[in-house]
Amino acid sequence: MDRHESTDTAATVIIGQKVRPGCERDFEAWQLNMNARAAVYPGFLGAEVNPPTAVQSDWVVVYRFDSIAHVQAWLNSATRQDMLSEGARFCDGPGTQQVISGGARPSDPLVTVVVTHRVTPDNVADFLAWQERLRAAEERFRGFRGTEVFRPVEGIQDEWTTLYRFENESDLETWLVSEERRELLAEGEKFADFQSRTVDNSFGSWFAFDDDGKQAPRPSEVKTSLAVWMGLYPTVVFLTLALSPLHMPLWLGMLVGNLLSSFAMSYLAMPYYVNPVLKRWLRPPTGASSRRSDVRGLLLLLALNAFWVVVFYLATRVIWHLP
């Protein structure tokens, strides 16, 4: 395995698509329907739809599954083929697709460049050495946050895929127009047959790098469970109070409440409350005392939950008398 390859077994699909002028809303509605169909397939972890921005010219759709096998099952499914036929009228030509094995989700959004190369077996060693020279040059530029190289995925994709990330569009542009990059591209002339796409912030969050450009370790299962608990408690109480006037029976109230809490946790509690507050605890900075970080993070977590306990007690027993 290459030094920049992820050890994660999950798989990500990156799809770029040009959309016919005037069909943007229809395309987005169709794509969201496509994502809903994908969600019922085994191993589905999530999907994102990103419209064009100043950085990316195409619509970019990202799927994430827990394994290559499950990605392959979805990509080759009759459901997806039927949906592609239905949505072709919204698209301006065929889309592009990259599949990579590995990568995780951090909380910080960056600008990501996705590059695919066709490499013959006898040139793999030269290609990897050239990629290493590119990485060494990139890391000297301001805003560089990391790179990963992914091998071809058997049965799905023959190309090598490289991802590199910068803090913002300006830092990326400095690298793209630099003399160092032009010289390195000239050195790798035999790998000049490549496709490149720059993708804006929301996609970049599918890949985990620390501040030194290395892949960040995942939090432990204990930390993950406690972090979810911290977000789940206020989420569930707020939703319970919001739904209480409907007087639904237990079996229905739990069904609706669990559905809403899943969305609230994914789109509100975790990205805007738990992850920012516990960032240094979940992923301690390099060189920080792990014991001190763990103690501080745990105390902060307990203090916030105690705060919510007081708030909800006062709200339901002192200010109002709610169930």
Range of 123's domain? Answer: 11-204
Shared domain for 32 and 167, answered yes or no, is yes
Shared domain for 172 and 260, answered yes or no, is no
- Confirm whether 211 is domain-assigned: no
Shared domain for 196 and 262, answered yes or no, is no
- Confirm whether 54 is domain-assigned: yes
Q: What is the CATH number of the domain that holds 126?
A: 3.30.70.100
Shared domain for 64 and 193, answered yes or no, is yes
Report the pLDDT value the prediction gives residue 288, as an integer from 0 to 100.
59
Shared domain for 253 and 184, answered yes or no, is no
Report the pLDDT value the prediction gives residue 9, as an integer from 0 to 100.
67
Report the pLDDT value the prediction gives residue 204, as an integer from 0 to 100.
41
| Total structural domains within the chain | 2
Shared domain for 111 and 231, answered yes or no, is no
- Confirm whether 86 is domain-assigned: yes
- Confirm whether 24 is domain-assigned: yes
- Confirm whether 209 is domain-assigned: no
Report the pLDDT value the prediction gives residue 286, as an integer from 0 to 100.
57
Shared domain for 309 and 173, answered yes or no, is no
Global model pTM greater than 0.75: no
The domain boundary, picked from 154, 176, 204, lies at 204
**Interacting residues of 206 by C-beta distance below 8 A, sequence separation 6+:** 12, 48, 62, 64, 103, 104, 105
The domain boundary, picked from 171, 204, 237, lies at 204
The span from the CA of 281 to the CA of 35, in Å, is: 33
- Confirm whether 311 is domain-assigned: yes
Divide the 323 residues of the chain into consecutive groups of 10 and give the mean pLDDT of each group. 46 87 90 87 83 80 85 88 91 84 54 84 90 90 85 80 83 89 87 74 44 51 84 91 88 88 84 84 68 88 95 87 63
Shared domain for 251 and 313, answered yes or no, is yes
- Confirm whether 1 is domain-assigned: no
- Confirm whether 167 is domain-assigned: yes
Shared domain for 199 and 304, answered yes or no, is no
Report the pLDDT value the prediction gives residue 310, as an integer from 0 to 100.
94
Shared domain for 170 and 278, answered yes or no, is no
Report the pLDDT value the prediction gives residue 109, as an integer from 0 to 100.
57
The domain boundary, picked from 154, 178, 204, lies at 204
Shared domain for 246 and 171, answered yes or no, is no
Report the pLDDT value the prediction gives residue 270, as an integer from 0 to 100.
84
Shared domain for 227 and 150, answered yes or no, is no
